[in-house]
Structure 1
Amino acid sequence: MKYAIITGASKGLGAAIAKRLMNEEISVISVSRTENKELRKLALEKGTVYKHFSCNLALEKEVQEVFMEISHFIFQKDPSEILLFNNAGVVDPIHTVGNLDQTPVIRNVQINLIAPILITNIFFNKAQHTETKVQAVNVTSGAAVRSIEGWSVYCSSKAGLNMFTQTAALEQAELKTQNKIIAFSPGIMDTDMQATIRSSSKDAFRDLDQFKGYKENNMLLPAETVADALVDLVLSGDAESGKVYHINDLLNK
């Protein structure tokens, strides 16, 4: 049996990934501060295994405790494969350096970078002692490779996530494990994160009008479209460990 763990599964891309996987009859573990009741209802309709764990990914102690519990829950069932989607992310703080507040800076790095590192570490460690394959997906951003004024923290945390992905892939290859780890850049989606960006100020974010235009001109991708492309890649078994995939490349195949 395959199990999928999805952080930030309560809404947006995470919820869309969860729904698609349930339709594929894959067991889903949802991780977020609040539960999406629609996922529980869908699981009952499909007859698939579903379990929700509440976790604040900004607190490393809580991350360690919750994901050790999740790993124990899953590995005792001897699954054939675990799909780990490190999807949760935050764009705040949106402001120029010199005007940043400490708390949101730390929260951003904790959620976008430290939590995926800790979570992946737990599952790769557990997999060493079993026959279970782990396929990890780190949701990154085009901002990881492009400097955007007002997004210094977000750009930096996602760039770090890309490098972690590439380095971990090298290590797994050297260890000759069957594990894979990739990064996935979902492009500009119609999610709450885009709403957060549009609500920022022009002083903090010079490209504000451009992002408002994406919404006004219907240029935002539906989360379901992005989720389908990502899940298709993951389930195909053709994903190249260490690679950073971009949504446009997958949609234009």
Structure 2
Amino acid sequence: MKYAVITGASRGLGAAAAQQLLAEGISVISIARHENTELKQVAAEAGTGYSHYSCNLGSEEQVQNVFSEITETILKDAEKIFVINNAGVIEPIEVAGELDSSLVMNNVQVNLTAPILICNLILQKAKKTAVEIVIANVTSGAAERPIHGWSIYCSTKAAINMFTMTAGLELEKAESNSKIIAFSPGIMDTDMQATIRSSSEEAFADLKTFKNYKESGSLRSPETVAGALVKLLLGSQLENGKVYKVNDLL
């Protein structure tokens, strides 16, 4: 049995990837604070397994409890497990010196700490089995350059890239059959883009540029980007620790 465990599967890239994986006959486990009921319908029509777990990824306790339960359940009959750490937050969009401490803490927890804990737990549990784990950590081009007003987002995405590269190195050294990669999806037409466009020029100097992306139709659909990610995961010989960019895949 093949499973896909997807965080942030209620909307955007996560929901699009979940739908496409269900169509491939892969059972999907959705993790989000709110369930996307359309996924349940898609799964029923495809005759594919589906379940949803409510989880606040900003809570370390919830992450540990929920993912311990998920891994204990699916490792019993899994042959391969795909993990897509997709959930992320952009806030705070603000310059250093004006940052909201609670938003900083939540950003670090959701974008960095939660994916690390999830990877660690699943890889640890899978060691005792022959199950192949394939992990994709969703990153951003912001990991590779400073962007005005995005100091925390840039930092957490840069950190998840380095974690991915290091964990990939370790899996190779251990001669594991599991893989871990990062996936940079580019600019998509999602709720995160709407949040970015609602910020101020004082907090985010590139505001006009991002508004123009929407107005000019430059934003890719989540379905297009998800197609590239799913094709990568299902059809490629993945390189451990590599950061894959959607522009190189489409």
* TM-score bucket (shorter structure): over 0.9
1:211 maps to 210
CA distance in 2, matches of 1:166, 1:24: 28
CA distance in 2, matches of 1:52, 1:242: 28
Measured after TM superposition, the shift of residue 145 of structure 1 is: 0.4
Matches within 5 A, 1:97-116: 97-116=96-115
Measured after TM superposition, the shift of residue 111 of structure 1 is: 0.3
Say whether residues 1:31 and 2:42 are aligned partners.
Answer: no
Name the % identity: 58
Structure 2: gaps spanning 5 or more residues: none
1:142 maps to 141
CA distance in 2, matches of 1:5, 1:67: 10
User: Per-residue displacement from partner, 1:163-197 (whole Å, max 9, x unpaired)?
Assistant: 00000001111111101000000000000000000
Counterpart of 2:60 in structure 1: which amino acid?
E
Match of 1:106, SS?
helix
CA distance in 1, matches of 2:236, 2:99: 42
Match of 1:220, SS?
coil
User: Per-residue displacement from partner, 1:110-143 (whole Å, max 9, x unpaired)?
Assistant: 0000000000001100111101000000000000
Match of 2:146, SS?
coil
- Pairwise CA RMSD of aligned residues? 0.5
1:154 maps to 153
Measured after TM superposition, the shift of residue 241 of structure 1 is: 1.0
Count of residues in correspondence between the two structures: 250
CA distance in 1, matches of 2:107, 2:50: 28
Match of 2:19, SS?
helix
Match of 2:201, SS?
coil
1:169 maps to 168
Match of 1:245, SS?
strand
Structure 1: gaps spanning 5 or more residues: none
2:64 maps to 64
CA distance in 1, matches of 2:208, 2:133: 41
1:119 maps to 118
CA distance in 2, matches of 1:76, 1:102: 41
Which aligned runs of 4 or more in structure 1 are off by greater than 4 angstroms?
A: none
User: Per-residue displacement from partner, 1:232-251 (whole Å, max 9, x unpaired)?
Assistant: 01001412111000000001
2:6 maps to 6
Match of 2:249, SS?
helix
CA distance in 2, matches of 1:127, 1:190: 35
User: Per-residue displacement from partner, 1:33-53 (whole Å, max 9, x unpaired)?
Assistant: 000000001111111000000
1:200 maps to 199
TM-score w.r.t. the length of structure 1 is 0.98
CA distance in 1, matches of 2:220, 2:237: 24
Matches within 5 A, 1:74-89: 74-77=74-77, 79-89=78-88
Match of 1:5, SS?
strand
Counterpart of 2:182 in structure 1: which amino acid?
A
CA distance in 2, matches of 1:35, 1:73: 19
Counterpart of 1:36 in structure 2: which amino acid?
N
Greater mean deviation of Cα atoms: 231-240 or 216-225? 231-240
